[in-house]
Amino acid sequence: MSIFKVASFNVNSVKTRLPILERWLGEDPVDVLCLQETKVQDPDFPVSAFRDLGYHVVFRGMKSYNGVAVASREEPDEVAFGFGDGEEPDDGPRVARVRFGDLTVLNTYVPQGKALDHPDFAYKLRFFERVLALLERHCREADPVLWTGDLNVAPTDRDVTHPENKRDHVCFHRDVQRAFRDVLSWGLEDVYRKHRPGDGEFSFWDYRVRDSLARNIGWRIDHLLASPPLAERSVDAYAVRELRAQERPSDHTAVVGVFRR
């Protein structure tokens, strides 16, 4: 069976995480890699490192914050950054839409939100609305579509340690969960949960929590969400937990979706 792999990884600085990326992709390459929080201006993006690994890479970034990139074995047929909806901010460093043949991959870094009474939380809720509108403008449910990235939402109690303590967290509050479900209602399936339905499945372990990885105190906020034709072709999904245990890691790890071609 011929397969292809799509991965999402919030690297929390692509330059800092290059040694981890080089080791991982050298040992277990994926076909498409979506990165978030690259934290680098475009002229300084490490293009040559990805080329040396055999990847074409497109990116949009800024100094010290945000930034998205898509590295791929094949050159994409279409690339767009931002929402393109005329609303400000356009969020180019948070949104990349890339098409390979009939497959569309939407890579987003959703705002964290800061606090429920902070303007950034309203901005976050509006961000989800704009993602839904973007899907409605550019994609069809009948086409293979993957929405992925650091979406900064844990959708259910299974997706976070000690959910009873986090009801008012900006990544777990009912309003952000509802906004997330509204986007899924366009016609997207959580293919990670399709293959990993159990407890303790996380993609983020906070630096500030002592031994969070060893104790598995985490969040599942990095997602793989597929339209029906693509979800039907999914054969596996997993988190590459060992990347979080390496020297100078991101606080996230990569999540990988495996699909039949």
For 139, how many CA atoms within 13 A lie in the half-sphere containing its CB?
Answer: 30
β-strands 145-150, 103-109 pairing: parallel
Q: Give CA 155 to chain center in angstroms.
A: 14
Half-sphere exposure at residue 45, Cβ-oriented, CA atoms within 13 angstroms: 24
Phi/psi-derived region of residue 113, left when phi > 0, alpha when psi is between -120 and 50, beta in every other case: left
Q: Count other Cβ atoms within 10 Å, centred on residue 52.
A: 11
Please state, in angstroms and rounded to a whole number, the distance separating the CA atoms of residues 163 and 100. 38
Burial of 17 (0-12, 13-18, 19+ CB in 10 A): buried
Residues 6+ apart with CB under 8 A from 105: 6, 32, 34, 70, 97, 98, 99, 145, 146, 148
31, 91, 150, 159: the active-site residue = 150
Coil, strand, or helix at residue 71? strand
Separation of alpha carbons 212 and 124, rounded Å: 26
Catalytic residue status for 238: no
End-to-end CA distance of the chain: 8
Q: Where are the alpha helices (DSSP H) in the chain?
A: 18-27, 47-52, 119-138, 174-184, 191-195, 228-231
109 is known as an active-site residue = yes
The catalytic position among 109, 159, 192, 222 is 109
- Active-site residues, by number, are 109, 150
